[in-house]
Every structure is written in C-alpha cells, then in structure tokens.
Amino acid sequence: MPKNSKVPLHRTTTQGLTVENKVMRAKTTEVVGIARRTGKPIQDLARQYGLTMDEIKRHTGAVKKLGDTWAVTAYDHVPREMLIFENGREVQIEVADSREATKISQYHNAIRGYLAAKGPAKEKALRQLKNYGSIRIKDATGRLHSLETDPDVIREIVLRKEVPEYPEPYPEGWR
C-alpha cells in the first residue's frame, strides 16, 4: 500500500490498533470529552493529563489550531466499540464517530434513569426511554441498529449479567 493512502491513526478501527495506541486513544478521547463537556481549554487539559497537542490531534483528529490556541471540534470520527441492547440481548458494536457514541451514551443514561426511578418519576423515565425506539444507530460498517426500549426486556438483559449492576456503555478494557 502506498504511504499516502494510509488511514490516519484516529480513523483506524479498534481492532487495527496496538495496545499502546488503544491506551493513548482512550486517554486522548477522554481529554477531548472533558474539554467538550466543561469548556475548559484543551491545552490546559492536555498538560494536566501529560499529553501533547500533537498526540491529541494524531489520536483523535478532534482539535484544530486557531491562531495561537487550539480548539476542540464539535465531534470526531474516532471509531469506538460500545455496548447496546438490541433484540433482547447486549451487543457490542463499533461506531464511527462521537455523534453515534453520544446517542448510545444518552440511551444508557435513559435506561439507568428508568431502572433507578421510583413512584411518579418512573413514568417520566419510561417516556424518555421510549423516545429511543425510533432512533437508529449506524455502526462503522454502515449497518443500522435498533435500540431496545421494552422495560421488561431491558430488566431481563440486566439481570442476566453476572453482576446485576447496570453496564458501562464502553466494553471492558476500553478506558
């Protein structure tokens, strides 16, 4: 393969990364996520986590230079493996960008909220969970996935797990 046609590191699938690159991707995407959520300067966060801006750019592609400072982009194209509930089971998929990952994280937050809610708040949490029935998640290969919204099925999936605790949306070892 010619040198110029190489896929950038931040667009390489999880399976195509070395262990060191997986660790660095996890660390850099965490820093970018913090910058997006808090609005803190990415350069300060990079320094705090012992990273360089070049490392963040290489592993996430989610920063751009604006004059003398760096800015975080609204989203990135970093493939990441995530867990979803689909057709009565837990499924691990790889999504191609942060927009799809955000949808999955919000879905998991809705499930967590429903499972924890009691009394009148349970109905509101159920309505929020049901909103995800019409959302489709596109994986890195372009296949569309439907999210499970039946509360009985979700409870069953959670109870089937060894530890009856709600799972993280990212698979084991990602972070």
pLDDT class of 125 with cuts at 50, 70, 90: very high
Reported confidence tier of residue 160, pLDDT bands at 50, 70, 90: confident
Give the start-end residues of each E strand in 39-107.
63-66, 69-72, 80-86, 89-95
Q: What is the pTM of this model?
A: 0.81
130-148: per-residue pLDDT in tens? 999 999 999 999 999 999 9
* Candidate ranges 12-16, 18-22, 164-168; pick with highest mean pLDDT: 18-22
Give the Cα separation of 75 and 109 in Å (integer): 20
Determine the average pLDDT of the residues in 21-26: 93
Select the highest-mean-pLDDT range: 9-13, 70-74, 169-173. Answer: 70-74
- Secondary structure percentages of the chain, helix, strand, coil, to 5: 50, 15, 35
42 and 56 in contact (C-beta within 8 Å)?
yes
